[in-house]
Structure 1
Amino acid sequence: MSIFIKVRKALGWKFSTAKPEYDLNPLIYAQLKPFRLPLVLLQVIMMIGTLGYIIIDDFPILDAIYQTGITFTTVGFGEVAEISQAGRFFTITLIIFGFAIFTFSTAVLINVMIKGRLFDLYKERSMLYKIARLRKHFVIFYHNEYTAQLARQFRVNHIPFVVVDPSDDIEAIAKENGYPYYVKEEPYKELGFLKSHLSSAKGAISLSKSISDNITLIASVRLYEKELGRKPFLIISNAETQNEKIRLKKLGADKVVATPALMAKRVSAMAIRPDMENVLDEFLYKRDTPIDMEEIYVNENSWVVNREVKDLRLRDKLKVSVIGITEEKGRFIQMPRGTIVINAKSKLLLVGSQKGIARSKRIINLSNKPEDI
């Protein structure tokens, strides 16, 4: 083990080989391009000065380089050895040209810093490398109050996410709302997909208040999905009316939340059952809750197809209960009896611990019945 690796482990440094899908280096190099001429002139003046002192006053090469350096930079250390009259004239000329090059280089530097985007590009490049390490994250498009609330819930539940928004002050917005990863880009463009590392994401969430923005985003994500040839993204969006909700689902959204309808249902539940007001908050949304709920899809080749619910023995083995079954045609069976037969392409609604549900999902997706069931 090399010393570098030992030091890295001792200091807790972590390095990732993950690279962003969008390379900012060409843009950074373009910003650095104006520095080429000053650097070339610097090398030329150093070569001319070194050769001049060697030829005129027969300086050793190291003394010539040193004399050129202190003369060119005008530090005023004096002469390293006695210089002839021709050498002094050469030195004065070198000082004048050195001062001119220094002034020109300073002007180039100031111009790049003021008019250029070098610092911004380096900051963005650092952010893209951090995002490139994410896997199974969510990409949230458009910043608004919905995004801020969702981000807060994601942070509480340790769900990684990236916010994509075209606002010029997205950095300040991210700092204010606690977005750990953000991208300043138009959400519906491929550039936004590349920078947010959408190809490795679990899903995309569009929370614009404009239905046209949501429609454009959903269509763009589905097209990008086909280009990648990967399994479908989970696309979640919001709508202001029930009609918009229907349209977005037809266009490809997996889940659509109609904000007014959702608020009305919650208020109605509070009015009808005041004592049940905090049930969802306590058991579904609360951090580190012992109880979880998830819907499990039954594949056609699953061993549970055409078997009864009681044959799964989830309650006995894993303390997980099947509280509902959604059949392929949409019929929902509430609190199914143990004799209900499970059909292919149905969905089982399970309640139990997170660990138990995770194990149940693996068991249900097996092709052959486990020996311990």
Structure 2
Amino acid sequence: MGDMEELRRKLVNAFILIVFIFVSGVMGYVWLEGWSFFDALYMTVITLASVGYGETHELSANGRLFTIFLIVIGMGAFVYAISMVTALIIEGELNGYLRRKKMKAKIDKLHSHYIICGVGSVGRHVIDELYKTNRAFVAIDKDIVQLDKIHCKESILFIQGDASEDDILIQAGIKRAAGLVCALPSDKDNLFIVITAKSLNPTIRIVTRAMEDDSIPKLRKAGADSIVSANAIGGMRMASEMIRPKVVSFLDKMLRSQDASLRVEELSLGRESTLIGKTLREANINDATGLLVIATNNDQSGEYRHNPKSNYVFKNDDVLIVIGNAEQVNECRKKFNVR
């Protein structure tokens, strides 16, 4: 973006230079030869355009010297302006094409990634969290200005377009994606995206934003797995700030601080996990990775166990709720073969 801005600035300067040369040419002929404004303008145009129609009136020696000066300076300014226009067209189009092609190649290689629809005030916070926790994702938005705001971060992949269109979601790898976030400010738009996404990938997990409480049952019926109500979350947050401010402060520092690395994460146990059949004591996850297991959940039973005891036996489809940093989570995934 910086190079393009510099190119545009040079183009504006070249245009100003050409205008200045035209004005100087007209004033020069009026002053040196005593011509009328129209005759001076005509002579300036045919001189700079190198048409070669001949002199409007007989030129004096000073007039001819001025004409030579005008031709040399004018042609230089025109060549400079044309080179800037050419560079603006070629570099702008070429860079845009190469960037889109490079992003498409990277997106085509993604699997089990996330798609963020809407890069507004909410979508950017979703992107920040995924970026900090090294999750693969693709952002979609119609507005290139919004996309430029996130493009300053390295390695962020995005597509400019309407997320409710099948082609755009397919470009984002909807059929290979693990999840999709609808973060648009309109419940109607989010509803349409949920319907479209589920038709393309019935198993994808969808989390959507809801502005109005009346929209929640419609979004759930359309296939949204989780619905986040801005009004409900805001109300709960305000109540928590009033009655448990220290807890809120702790969670904010852990989850939202730019410097903090701790996160509450979840790890899923499949049949291939080496944790299955072991007790929490035998697994010794805290010593092995530094993670703290604060709860477990089983997808089959839906049961949560808070602060599980040391004799708890891990089972297939268990989900561990843990506190730790990204390195510790990745270490646990590798060491115990969990997702």
| Partner residue, 2:305 | 333
| Partner residue, 1:236 | 207
Q: Does 1:144 align with 2:116?
A: no
8 Å Cα contact 1:324-1:335 kept in structure 2: yes
Alignment of 1:353-372 (within 5 A): 353-365=325-337
How big is each residue's C-alpha offset from its partner over 1:74-126, in whole Å with a ceiling of 9 and x where there is no partner? Answer: 999xxxxxxxxxxxxxxxxxxxxxxxxxxxxxxxxxxxx9xxx9998656533
Measure, in 2, the Cα distance between the counterparts of 1:305 and 1:242.
41
2:195 aligned partner, one-letter code: A
The correspondence for 2:256, drawn from 244, 263, 285, is 285
| Partner residue, 1:171 | 144
Report the secondary structure of 1:139's partner residue: strand
| Partner residue, 1:302 | 273
| Partner residue, 2:246 | 275
| Partner residue, 1:253 | 224
8 Å Cα contact 2:115-2:180 kept in structure 1: yes
8 Å Cα contact 2:174-2:201 kept in structure 1: no
Report the secondary structure of 1:289's partner residue: coil
1:223 aligned partner, one-letter code: S
Report the secondary structure of 1:163's partner residue: strand
Instruction: Evaluate the alpha carbon distance shift between residue 161 and residue 341 of structure 1 in structure 2; reply closer, same or farther with a 3 A threshold.
Output: closer
Alignment of 1:1-80 (within 5 A): none
Deviation at 1:338?
A: 0.7
8 Å Cα contact 1:295-1:347 kept in structure 2: yes
1:356 aligned partner, one-letter code: Q
How big is each residue's C-alpha offset from its partner over 1:179-208, in whole Å with a ceiling of 9 and x where there is no partner? Answer: 455433221222212444556655422112
Report the secondary structure of 2:201's partner residue: helix
2:121 aligned partner, one-letter code: E
Report the secondary structure of 1:324's partner residue: strand
Instruction: Evaluate the alpha carbon distance shift between residue 344 and residue 153 of structure 1 in structure 2; reply closer, same or farther with a 3 A threshold.
Output: closer
Measure, in 1, the Cα distance between the counterparts of 2:178 and 2:231.
27
Deviation at 1:143?
A: 4.2
1:359 aligned partner, one-letter code: E
Report the secondary structure of 2:295's partner residue: strand
Deviation at 1:324?
A: 0.3
How big is each residue's C-alpha offset from its partner over 1:49-80, in whole Å with a ceiling of 9 and x where there is no partner? Answer: xxxxxxxxxxxxxxxxxxxxxxxxx999xxxx
8 Å Cα contact 1:218-1:235 kept in structure 2: yes
Measure, in 1, the Cα distance between the counterparts of 2:268 and 2:282.
17
Q: Does 1:207 align with 2:183?
A: yes
Measure, in 2, the Cα distance between the counterparts of 1:160 and 1:282.
24
How big is each residue's C-alpha offset from its partner over 1:112-151, in whole Å with a ceiling of 9 and x where there is no partner? Answer: x9xxx99986565333223222546543223433224444
Instruction: Evaluate the alpha carbon distance shift between residue 294 and residue 143 of structure 1 in structure 2; reply closer, same or farther with a 3 A threshold.
Output: closer
| Partner residue, 2:198 | 222
Deviation at 1:263?
A: 1.4
Deviation at 1:341?
A: 2.6
Instruction: Evaluate the alpha carbon distance shift between residue 208 and residue 290 of structure 1 in structure 2; reply closer, same or farther with a 3 A threshold.
Output: closer
Measure, in 2, the Cα distance between the counterparts of 1:267 and 1:131.
41
Report the secondary structure of 1:178's partner residue: helix
| Partner residue, 2:56 | none
| Partner residue, 2:319 | 347
8 Å Cα contact 2:141-2:160 kept in structure 1: yes
Instruction: Evaluate the alpha carbon distance shift between residue 159 and residue 320 of structure 1 in structure 2; reply closer, same or farther with a 3 A threshold.
Output: closer
| Partner residue, 1:127 | 99
Measure, in 2, the Cα distance between the counterparts of 1:335 and 1:286.
25
Instruction: Evaluate the alpha carbon distance shift between residue 140 and residue 303 of structure 1 in structure 2; reply closer, same or farther with a 3 A threshold.
Output: closer
Deviation at 1:271?
A: 0.9
Instruction: Evaluate the alpha carbon distance shift between residue 188 and residue 119 of structure 1 in structure 2; reply closer, same or farther with a 3 A threshold.
Output: farther
1:266 aligned partner, one-letter code: R
Alignment of 1:182-201 (within 5 A): 182-198=158-174
8 Å Cα contact 2:275-2:314 kept in structure 1: yes
1:323 aligned partner, one-letter code: I
1:210 aligned partner, one-letter code: S
How big is each residue's C-alpha offset from its partner over 1:150-188, in whole Å with a ceiling of 9 and x where there is no partner? Answer: 44555666666543233xxx233433x334554332212
Measure, in 2, the Cα distance between the counterparts of 1:351 and 1:152.
19
| Partner residue, 1:311 | 282
8 Å Cα contact 1:183-1:196 kept in structure 2: yes
Moved more, 263-272 or 215-224: 215-224
8 Å Cα contact 1:240-1:260 kept in structure 2: yes
Instruction: Evaluate the alpha carbon distance shift between residue 344 and residue 157 of structure 1 in structure 2; reply closer, same or farther with a 3 A threshold.
Output: closer
**Identity percentage over the alignment?**
17
Please report the TM-score for the alignment, with normalisation by the length of structure 1.
Answer: 0.55
Instruction: Evaluate the alpha carbon distance shift between residue 338 and residue 249 of structure 1 in structure 2; reply closer, same or farther with a 3 A threshold.
Output: farther
